[in-house]
Amino acid sequence: MGKDVIIALDFPSCSDTLAFLNKLRGASRKPFVKIGMELFYSEGPDIVRKIKESGHKIFLDLKLHDIPNTVYSSVRSLSQLQPDMLNVHASGSIDMMKAAVDALNSECEVKPLVIAVTLLTSLSAQKLNDELLITSSVEDTVVHYAENAKKAGLNGVVCSPLEVGKIHERLGADFLTVTPGIRFSDGNVGDQVRVTTPERAKELGSDYIVVGRPITRAENPLEVYERCINEFCGE
């Protein structure tokens, strides 16, 4: 599995998104992109079809979290859009994650990768303990949720690059780690807490990095995208 940079298309509209993608023309590879809640909820499923038609691979980041039956039906609906990757929350339980896998098995000839969100990279240890009353450490919680995801038959997890080593060690090098929370050392962290640079994410063994604002809000997005590709995918 080749490493890749996934650009988070966190835009409010189709026109903003297409204007942004236009700025990436001439990139050294066709960018793998992520469509999340903001864009999907404003534009609906057509935005997925449109971007897929223009040749981009798509990670549909809708972070499903509901009772297993609802997740099963939702994944069945989403599979019609033929995303390359989609996700659910690991905290929804092993049964819920299995429901997502079952739906893909029943619907798809070519199955998208299905991964689980462990803990959001915006969560600190203090919030985990004080607000969510989870007394285990961030790392133990993430690794445990990743074990549950593997038991459910998922392909991997979304996690911080800081947790990748432990996850690969416990669950094998083939178990995918998709890591947001990427920032350059000279950039703005924003609301992310557990952050690393693309280069460091590569050293730590991430399979995919997800990069949003450092690229989408850059003056020259193409230049920053290529910097990510070089740092993360380069020899």
Q: Determine, following the binding rule CB under 6 A, whether residue 192 of this chain makes contact with ligand C5P.
A: yes
Tell me how many residues contact ligand C5P (CB under 6 A): 17
Q: Determine, following the binding rule CB under 6 A, whether residue 193 of this chain makes contact with ligand C5P.
A: no
Q: Determine, following the binding rule CB under 6 A, whether residue 10 of this chain makes contact with ligand C5P.
A: yes
Q: Can you tell me which of 99, 103, 210, 224 binds ligand C5P, judged by CB under 6 A?
A: 210
Question: Could you give the CA distance from residue 141 to residue 219 in angstroms, rounded to a whole number?
Answer: 37
Determine the interface stretch with ligand C5P among 41-49, 72-80, 102-110, 208-216 (rule: CB under 6 A).
Answer: 208-216
Determine the interface stretch with ligand C5P among 52-60, 94-102, 107-115, 209-217 (rule: CB under 6 A).
Answer: 209-217
**Nearest position to ligand C5P, beta carbon:** 212
Please provide residue 87's backbone torsions phi and psi, each rounded to the nearest 5 degrees: -145, 160
59 contacts 85 by C-beta, under 8 angstroms: yes
**Residue whose structure tokens are 């996934």:** 6
Q: Can you tell me which of 5, 100, 103, 158 binds ligand C5P, judged by CB under 6 A?
A: 158
Q: What are the residues whose beta carbons fall under 8 Å from the beta carbon of 123, sequence distance 6 or more?
A: 132, 138, 193
> So which residues are the catalytic ones?
63
Handedness of CA 50, 10, 113, 103 (dihedral sign): negative
Q: Determine, following the binding rule CB under 6 A, whether residue 213 of this chain makes contact with ligand C5P.
A: yes
Q: Determine, following the binding rule CB under 6 A, whether residue 36 of this chain makes contact with ligand C5P.
A: yes
Q: Determine, following the binding rule CB under 6 A, whether residue 120 of this chain makes contact with ligand C5P.
A: yes
Question: Could you give the CA distance from residue 214 to residue 230 in angstroms, rounded to a whole number?
Answer: 15
Q: Smallest Cα–Cα separation from 87: which of 120, 128, 123, 115?
A: 115
Q: What are the residues whose beta carbons fall under 8 Å from the beta carbon of 230, sequence distance 6 or more?
A: none
Q: What is the DSSP string of 140-189?
A: HHHHHHHHHHHHTT-SEEE--GGGHHHHHHHH-TTSEEEE--B--TTS--
Residues numbered 50-109 forming contacts with ligand C5P, rule: CB under 6 A: none
Q: Determine, following the binding rule CB under 6 A, whether residue 180 of this chain makes contact with ligand C5P.
A: yes
Amino acid present at 33: V
CB of 6 to ligand C5P, least distance (A): 9
- The residue (of 36 and 198) whose beta carbon lies closer to ligand C5P is 36
Determine the interface stretch with ligand C5P among 78-86, 98-106, 166-174, 207-215 (rule: CB under 6 A).
Answer: 207-215
Chain positions contacting ligand C5P, by CB under 6 A: 8, 10, 36, 117, 120-121, 158, 180-182, 190, 192, 210-214
